[in-house]
Amino acid sequence: MFNRSPGDPLREADEDRPPLIERLPKTAGRRFVAVSPMPGIDGGLEIVTSDGALAEKLQRANHKLTCEFSVRIKGVLGPDHLESVKSGKLDRAARMVVESVSTSEAQLEGSNRWYSILVSGASGKDIRQLFERQGALVSRVLRISMGAVKLDKSLARGQHRQLTEEEVESLLKPPAADASAG
């Protein structure tokens, strides 16, 4: 699990430091695969593995998992725009299931507002698109959780930790309620 800050590349190196993948312990493997990677402009929880078979299983299971994202936009969405976000409609045939969208006065940063969205069947790119379709200027999308795996707030940006066997199992076998909802 990574806590990746926006702009900190997963694979591409920049002038100041190597990409996150290269900073992983070599004992874990030589080639890493990101599971549902966030776009480079966004960040938060990233899951990577050096086990190709596990990566394939996790990528399939990821579509059934409920994920939480935090989205920072300039301004405020009106009631009609919020209803459109809740519909989960995108340009592609598959539709995500939006369980909730919320904000609060405490999530105000100047002219920016943070929204929390709980959704299944969506990637970070989908979440950005969903809000941008409402005319919102999205400045940041952060993944907070994937299923039962939550972003470890004690993990500094750019740092990582190994998932426990229980966490991996929870990603592979979503709760029965999530599996039957799709």
So where are the chain's domains? 2-181
H, E, C per residue of 83-149: HHHHHCCCCCCCCCEEEEEECCHHHEECCEEEEEEEEECCCHHHHHHHHHCCCCEEEEEEEEEECCE
Whether residue 177 has pLDDT greater than 80: no
Q: What is the pLDDT of residue 4?
A: 55
Of 27 and 62, the structure prediction assigns the larger pLDDT to 62
Among 141-145, 154-158, 178-182, the range with the most confident prediction by mean pLDDT is 141-145
The predicted-structure confidence for 61-72, as pLDDT tens digits, reads as follows 888 899 999 999
Q: Right CATH number for 2-181 from 3.30.43.10, 3.10.180.10, 2.40.30.10, 3.30.2350.10?
A: 3.30.2350.10
**pTM (two decimals):** 0.81
The predicted-structure confidence for 6-26, as pLDDT tens digits, reads as follows 555 554 545 555 556 666 666
